[in-house]
Amino acid sequence: MRPFNKFIWETHGIHAGTEQDHVKHGIDRLEDVVDKAIEHNHPSITFIIHSPRLTNFRYTAERETDIKFIRGNRSYLNYPKRIANLREKYAGKINIKYGVELEWMGSGLGLEWSRSKIFQAEEADFVIGSVHFAPEGLPYDGTVEEAQELLKLRGSLEAYWEGYFDEMIEMIEGFGEMIQIIGHIDLPKLNVDVPEVLENFETSDHPLANKFRTLLEIIADRNLSLDVNMAGKVKGCGVYPTQAILRRAHKLQIPVCLGTDLHHVRYYGENFEESLAYIYEAGYQQYVSYSKLIPEKRTVFDDHDLKVKYTILNKGIELLNQRLNSVNRNIIPEFSFGGKFIDFLDIYKNATGMGSYNAIRIRKNEKSITVSNQIPKIENEKVKGLFSEHRDQPGVLSSIFNSLASEGINVETARLKSNNDGTAVAFLTITGEKEHIDNAMDFIKGTDQDIFLNISYQENTTLPNYYREGVYLYEMDGVQLYLPLSDQVILTKHNNQPGVLLILLSALASKNINIVDLRLGNWHKYGYSALAVEGDPREIKGLLNKLGPQYFEATLVQFHSM
């Protein structure tokens, strides 16, 4: 069997400390653990923090102090700034992710309290929903004495667990889109026994077993991920969740996340391989991590070629999900695999094959993305169109499209390539009378003669090679584009008529946004564009919101996955 990775992309990872609090929790000096990750040559590290709790949900250590305080409140508010400072300090050395463990404290005031805290996590990569406290104010993961007190209040072991599952279901319903992951689903086993009916939940007809099966089905239906948490192993009660639960989750196609739930620097890196072996035993060959709430697929195996394939898959998932609103991002997409990606059919049982077509296609909500790292074949057929060699600076394409639109000439397809020497070349296929094309070129030369080194209309000529190594957007909604992906890509769907693309290009030029690569395509009345751009993402997003009704879709895709 192939060896497992020695590194995991965590979600429930390293708990950021509570800093000045009277009762400490987590790691205050985050730099210490980042330095340790860099020493291990790890590509990424993940922090997490508890959201503050209502004052009647406190652990014994908090109640026994002479000072009344909300543990973690100040550190939680400062958390995004701490992460931003870390990212700046360690830029280029390691990828730093962060998430929030959102505390469930009931559907009344507790829910409103949690909603008020989620704003501090607006830029977080993921949110885990967790139940730590019972409505009675007693913790499930506190002391044995507290657990026994709750057990006495509830009257039986089955009632103890049933209450926990009721709170889990209520949490999923209450938090809704705020969470992506369900934390430590069998947490109560830390301090109390697991009832026999729950150990045999797959075959038992007991109401508790049925409720737990329902809980798992709700998680599957909501496309939430399950936290596989190694802290249970460290604490002596076994990994959260058990193998039986994990096997059932696999049958339900529930994705899993991995985490060590780390609270001390000295334990960093422990149980990485063990967590991969644990989920593989239950049938999983992959798990998920998150960037900006978008799931990323990760292989359990230490296989370079397979990791490359997963990188391409994740790029495609990001492209598609960022075209959708937050509700539709949670819908499981349909996959098709071809060529060297055909092995994914063994993992994605409902996927379809594409024969020797060396690409990955991802579809949902009548939108699709096709990606590959195969360099597109050079097209040797003869073409006719507008060729331009010009200075590589903002506003150049806007100048070309401006003159073409003024003569009623529509641009059907376009390709742009930076020469990385201050110049760029472009080729545009256009429709229009030759007289109008000549007029447009004269206007371009007369208006911006200092920008254009050469511009001409050519017929029966060979298209230059615009391709290089990289991951390519092959198609958008089945329309061929062949754009090599960069850090920021604009995708649009718009009316295919003269002047429409000019709106976008003029908007970008107005904010000095440079276009480093461009592809256009069309399908009947619809035009499609894919642009690699450089500039402030906030300004770009602001411009895309103002393009008008001719644009059915205009999205800035920023890549966060690795």
Structure-token match 């620097």, residue found: 265
3-class SS of residue 274:
helix
User: pLDDT value at position 18?
Assistant: 60
Compute how many other C-beta atoms are within 10 angstroms of the C-beta atom of residue 285: 14
User: pLDDT value at position 465?
Assistant: 75
Please answer whether residues 5 and 300 qualify as being in contact, where contact means their C-beta atoms are separated by less than 8 angstroms. yes
Dihedral sign, CA of 198, 204, 206, 212?
positive
3-class SS of residue 318:
helix
3-class SS of residue 176:
helix
Dihedral sign, CA of 444, 445, 449, 452?
positive
3-class SS of residue 60:
helix
Closest Cα partner for 325 from 293, 287, 369?
293
3-class SS of residue 291:
strand
C-alpha to C-alpha distance for 168 and 187, rounded to whole angstroms: 11
C-alpha triplet 191, 194, 196: angle, nearest 5°: 160
Cα→Cα distances 339→169, 319, 345, Å: 42, 21, 11
- Written as six digits, the tokens of 221 are 């239906």
User: pLDDT value at position 69?
Assistant: 46
Closest Cα partner for 330 from 218, 226, 180?
180
Closest Cα partner for 54 from 20, 127, 105, 17?
105
- Written as six digits, the tokens of 94 are 């390691």
C-alpha to C-alpha distance for 40 and 42, rounded to whole angstroms: 5
The predicted-structure confidence for 345-389, as pLDDT tens digits, reads as follows: 998 988 999 999 999 999 998 999 999 999 998 777 777 788 989
Please answer whether residues 506 and 405 qualify as being in contact, where contact means their C-beta atoms are separated by less than 8 angstroms. no
Q: What is the mean pLDDT of each run of 10 residues along the chain (562 residues)?
A: 93 76 63 94 92 70 59 72 92 94 87 82 89 92 93 96 96 92 96 95 95 97 95 92 97 96 87 96 96 93 94 95 84 93 92 97 95 87 84 86 86 81 88 86 85 87 80 96 94 92 91 89 93 94 96 94 67
Give the CA count within 13 Å in the CB-facing half-sphere of 501.
Answer: 35
Please answer whether residues 245 and 256 qualify as being in contact, where contact means their C-beta atoms are separated by less than 8 angstroms. no
Cα→Cα distances 519→61, 112, 488, 528, Å: 61, 46, 14, 8
Burial class, 305, CB count within 10 angstroms (exposed 0-12 / middle 13-18 / buried 19+): exposed
- Written as six digits, the tokens of 15 are 């708990």
Please answer whether residues 147 and 119 qualify as being in contact, where contact means their C-beta atoms are separated by less than 8 angstroms. no
Cα→Cα distances 177→180, 296, 470, Å: 7, 18, 34
Closest Cα partner for 474 from 335, 561, 368, 553?
368
Please answer whether residues 364 and 321 qualify as being in contact, where contact means their C-beta atoms are separated by less than 8 angstroms. no
Closest Cα partner for 517 from 450, 427, 454, 452?
427
- Written as six digits, the tokens of 352 are 């379809």
Please answer whether residues 7 and 42 qualify as being in contact, where contact means their C-beta atoms are separated by less than 8 angstroms. yes
Rounded to a whole number of angstroms, the distance between the first and last alpha carbons of the chain is 25
C-alpha to C-alpha distance for 416 and 505, rounded to whole angstroms: 13
Q: What secondary structure does DSSP assign to 443-466, as a single string?
A: HHHHHSTTTEEEEEEEEEEEPP--
C-alpha to C-alpha distance for 454 and 432, rounded to whole angstroms: 21
User: pLDDT value at position 460?
Assistant: 79
Closest Cα partner for 27 from 81, 63, 75?
75
The predicted-structure confidence for 504-533, as pLDDT tens digits, reads as follows: 999 998 999 988 888 989 999 999 999 999
Compute how many other C-beta atoms are within 10 angstroms of the C-beta atom of residue 68: 10
User: pLDDT value at position 262?
Assistant: 86
